[in-house]
Structure 1
């Protein structure tokens, strides 16, 4: 076996082993890290298959409508395991297999049979991020969008139309891949073509959804977010968590949104302010990207830090702080390592640290966090501060992105 093939075999082996380890951890760790899969994904998709309510079509839903497709596909992969493990156990295995298959396809786009040194480094980062983030990296719908974003981001160089279509489909599963589409347009990667392709794919999806009867529920994934309270893991909830630790605030469970939220004077006002703040931050970052592109920064240099800044901005200004949001950070860092490895080092370290801290928060000390235990609140505080640091670093990288001639990768 040649040296190249040996490296490739080791890399692929590590990637698959990481999925096996993380999938197993979901079964043995506290706080049911795979709970959403069997408590909400399986019932939602079972209802649709059984002629009941179809989320996003017959009733409003917290996710874009295409998120239901992988939930349905998991049933197909679950069939061989149901007889042994039952409906829930079989569906969990089916879901883990589906995520692994999607990741394998994204990984193949990244490294294929070996890839360049930069691509191998990016691949090892992906392996590390999976292991450090733990079971939340695969047992959430967000996991389906990561390989879509990786493949789409990489294909922007040579297959821009396919890339944008893929990223737009990803955005109709979970919104965040749309940030890479916007970053590509702002960075000057055939901006008009990018926006036209994204709009065309969106029109096709909307047309299909309307034909299925989505009607008034078409944008339910947006309208349902406006009434949410401040989730305990959100960056903006950090001061209120410290108040809760000293008995001056309360942590309540919302059965409608299925999350734990802050109940305290001023929390609702902060929650209401976050959505317009998010819009302002995203608009400001896009304007910054357009200005830097106008100064002659090559799109390959500008796209990764701008995409990372946009995604970090979505997380930092979000009233929800779900642990799976950290998976969003994996794709832009992979793109950064591939397109501009030297300048990606700090972001790589920061994201790996964020994955590790998030794993500690959920599931390891989540029960203590719900009791506003001081140590758990401290760990989450450090994680949230690091998210702000990552955002600042990405913005700084956009500002300092050099005007230079690039070699092909």
Structure 2
């Protein structure tokens, strides 16, 4: 059997996806069990608790762990579409379907002219490296929206903008997909879609934006880049604490506010660099939109005061879109992200207890994971700058002039 444009049907790719996803499902269904904390408790306890509140027509107004934009409620309520299953099982099934949507999009994109199936392989290989956490959080659903947005971007900027705007109301970060968008139609569609959805939630459900206030009292999460300061400082008498705070395990105590402020400063600096790139960048290539989105999301993740394991799903998805394009220069940074995924499943959940007590195994794992993310961000930024500022794509008039010179006897 042959696929589109004469390409053989990728049985190996599909088989690898099916086998790895079956293993992930067996983990979230507790047939297989990884060492460490139960990653599915967020679904069976937290998400299901929110589901019971949201279905009454209001947001969890008194729950500081609700720190998501209003459209996140759609993901939490979605298991209600499968009433014949209990809540956790329905959620896991929908997570697998979102995963399948991403796979199908990347596979379809990969067989088009000028494209490659490398992106689909990145997605197939990357998610299992993160372990069962990928199906126990709603981030795979958000990533499906983001991947669809980027793949639509070059030919359908309005669709791309609308999906990015909707994604931002799911979990904020998809707004970064617009980093490389040069057409006003994409930005306009994002603003109209995001604003319209936000207005509907504000009018229909109390507390749609209460999550904004819940972010203020956060400390520094124990897996973030800044946390390495306190992991090491604990060995030299630092007097702070590690506590479950605002839904994650965080450092609280002396100088935490300083490190958190430094993380925000780094994020602001990254955004400033992206703005400078936008001002200096030349004519974009077909892969520039995806490459810029990858760099933006990677910078945001690496500098954040919270780097939860599920954040890696975003990077795998956006990195996979980059590698759908033959001309993308993001191959090595994406490979480094995949390496960081392997380190992530070791630090959470397998040896998370070592991270919490800041022993040298925990510190080494975090140093490896966060170090790979920082190195990938710097390398990806360099490649984006090199390809669009130092060596920008020639303008169409210049290309036409060279063609005329070649044809002139």
For the aligned pair, the TM-score class normalised by the smaller chain equals 0.7 to 0.9
Residues 146 and 330, structure 1, Cα contact 8 Å, conserved in 2: no
Is it true that 1:161 corresponds to 2:158 in the alignment? yes
1:3-402 equivalent positions in 2, closer than 5 A: 7-26=9-28, 27=30, 28-29=33-34, 30-49=36-55, 51=56, 53-55=58-60, 61-77=66-82, 79-81=83-85, 90-112=86-108, 115-116=111-112, 118-181=115-178, 183-185=179-181, 188=182, 190=183, 192-214=184-206, 217-255=207-245, 257-292=246-281, 295-296=282-283, 298-341=284-327, 343-401=329-387, 402=391
Q: From the superposition, tell whether residues 310 and 113 of structure 1 become closer, same or farther in structure 2 (CA, over 3 Å).
A: closer
Residues 222 and 251, structure 2, Cα contact 8 Å, conserved in 1: yes
TM superposition shift of 1:341:
4.7
TM superposition shift of 1:153:
0.3
> What residue ranges of structure 2 are gaps of 5+ in the alignment?
396-409
Q: Secondary structure at the match of 1:260?
A: strand
Q: From the superposition, tell whether residues 281 and 226 of structure 1 become closer, same or farther in structure 2 (CA, over 3 Å).
A: farther
Distance 1:279 1:113 in 2: 33
TM superposition shift of 1:76:
2.9
> Of the two, which has the highest radius of gyration?
2
TM superposition shift of 1:80:
2.9
Question: What CA RMSD, in Å, does the superposition of the two structures yield over aligned residues?
Answer: 2.6
Deviates more, 1:162-171 or 1:1-10: 1-10
Listed one character per residue, the Cα deviations across residues 165-219 of structure 1 (whole Å, up to 9, x for unaligned) are 11211111111111012x133xx2x1x11111111002211220122144xx443
Q: From the superposition, tell whether residues 240 and 60 of structure 1 become closer, same or farther in structure 2 (CA, over 3 Å).
A: closer
Number of residue pairs the alignment of both structures matches: 385
Residues 333 and 377, structure 2, Cα contact 8 Å, conserved in 1: no
Distance 2:8 2:277 in 1: 43
Listed one character per residue, the Cα deviations across residues 369-407 of structure 1 (whole Å, up to 9, x for unaligned) are 11222111111111111111011011101210143379x
TM superposition shift of 1:53:
4.7
Q: From the superposition, tell whether residues 218 and 76 of structure 1 become closer, same or farther in structure 2 (CA, over 3 Å).
A: closer
Residues 251 and 260, structure 1, Cα contact 8 Å, conserved in 2: no
TM superposition shift of 1:220:
3.0
Residues 110 and 119, structure 1, Cα contact 8 Å, conserved in 2: no
Distance 1:206 1:321 in 2: 26
Residues 243 and 252, structure 2, Cα contact 8 Å, conserved in 1: no
TM-score for both structures, normalised by structure 1: 0.86
Aligned position for 1:84: none
Q: Secondary structure at the match of 1:261?
A: strand
TM-score for both structures, normalised by structure 2: 0.86
Distance 1:246 1:134 in 2: 34
Distance 1:249 1:314 in 2: 29
Listed one character per residue, the Cα deviations across residues 266-305 of structure 1 (whole Å, up to 9, x for unaligned) are 112221343344233213213213311xx33x24343233
Distance 1:275 1:56 in 2: 26
Q: From the superposition, tell whether residues 280 and 222 of structure 1 become closer, same or farther in structure 2 (CA, over 3 Å).
A: farther
Listed one character per residue, the Cα deviations across residues 55-85 of structure 1 (whole Å, up to 9, x for unaligned) are 37999930011111121111332x333xxxx
Q: From the superposition, tell whether residues 132 and 405 of structure 1 become closer, same or farther in structure 2 (CA, over 3 Å).
A: farther
Listed one character per residue, the Cα deviations across residues 322-368 of structure 1 (whole Å, up to 9, x for unaligned) are 11111111232122212245622202211110111111111110022
Q: Secondary structure at the match of 2:117?
A: helix
TM superposition shift of 1:47:
2.1
Distance 1:396 1:194 in 2: 26
Structure number having the greater helix percentage: 1
